[in-house]
A and B are shown apart, each in its own frame.
Chain A
Amino acid sequence: MESQLPAEFVVNVDHEKCRKCKRCVINCSFSAIEFKDKVTPNNKQCVACHRCTTLCPESAITITENPLDYRNNYNWTPEIRKNILKQAESGGIILTGMGNPKPYPIYWDHMLIDACQVTNPSIDPLREPMELRTYLGAKPDSLDFEGKNDNVSLKTELAPQVKLDIPIVFAAMSYGAISLNAHKALAMAARRMGTLMNTGEGGLHEDLASYTDRIIVQVASGRFGVTSKYLNNSALVEIKIGQGAKPGIGGHLPGEKVGEDISKTRMIPVGTDALSPAPHHDIYSIEDLSQLIYAIKEATDYKKPVSVKIAAVHNVAAIASGIVRAGADIVMIDGFRGGTGAAPMVIRDNVGIPVELALAAVDDRLRQEGIRNRASIIVGGSIRQSADVVKAIALGADACVIGTAALIAIGCRVCQKCYTGNCAWGIATQKPELVRRLNPEVAADHLCNLLTAWGHEIQEVLGSLGINAIESLRGSRERLRGVGLNQEALDILGIKHAGIGQ
Chain B
Amino acid sequence: MKCDGIPSGCAISGMMSEEGRRIDGSVIIKSIACMHDRSNGLGGGFAAYGIYPKRKHQYAFHMMFDNMDAKEATEEFFKDAFNVDKDEPIPTHRENGIKNPPLLWRYFLEAPENKLEFLTERDYVMKIVMQINSEIEGAFVASSGKNMGAFKGVGYPEDIGKFYKLEDYSAYIWTSHGRFPTNTPGWWGGAHPFTLLDWSVVHNGEISSYGINKRYLEMFGYKLELRTDTEVIAYLFDLLVRKHNLPMELAVKALASPFWKDIDRMEPEQKKVATALRQVYGSTLMNGPFSIILGHSRGMMGLNDRIKLRPMTAARKDDMLYMASEESAIREIAPDLDQVWSPKAGTSVIGTLNAEVE
Contact = CB atoms under 8 A, between A and B. Distances in A.
B90 interface: no
Contacts of A158: 276, 279-280
A134 B210 CA distance: 20
Contacts of A475: 211-212, 215-216, 283
A461 to B, nearest CB: 12
Interface in A103-137: 116, 118-121, 123, 128-129, 131, 133, 135, 137
Given A149-B249, A367-B218, A502-B227, A478 B260 contact: no
- The majority secondary structure among interface residues of chain A is loop
Interface in A366-398: 367, 370, 372-373, 394
A129 B261 contact: yes
B350 to A, nearest CB: 11
B277 A116 contact: no
A465 interface: yes
Given A119-B182, A145-B246, A152-B273, A476 B280 contact: no
Interface string A136-153: 010110111100110011
Interface string B23-34: 000000000000
A89 to B, nearest CB: 55
A467 B272 contact: no
Nearest to A128: B307
B162 interface: no
Contact of A118 (B182, B184, B287): B182
A161 B219 contact: no
Contacts of B289: 120-121, 466
B218 to A, nearest CB: 7
Contacts of A140: 280
Contacts of A370: 219-220
A236 to B, nearest CB: 15
Contacts of A192: none
B254 to A, nearest CB: 9
Q: Assign chain A's interface to a size class.
A: 35 or more
Contacts of A500: none
Nearest to B281: A143
Nearest to A135: B279
A472 B213 CA distance: 8
Nearest to B244: A142
Given A119-B206, A476-B212, A479-B211, A142 B280 contact: yes
B335 interface: no
B215 A367 contact: yes
A472 B219 CA distance: 16
A68 interface: no
B208 A116 contact: yes
Contact of A472 (B9, B212, B227, B259): B212
Nearest to B220: A370
A77 interface: no
B38 interface: no
Interface string B261-282: 1000000010011001111111
A468 B307 contact: yes
A121 B307 CA distance: 11
A379 to B, nearest CB: 17
26 contacts: A120-B288, A121-B309, A123-B307, A128-B307, A129-B261, A131-B260, A143-B277, A143-B281, A144-B245, A153-B269, A154-B269, A158-B280, A466-B206, A467-B208, A467-B287, A468-B287, A468-B307, A469-B257, A469-B282, A472-B287, A474-B282, A475-B216, A476-B212, A478-B210, A479-B211, A501-B183
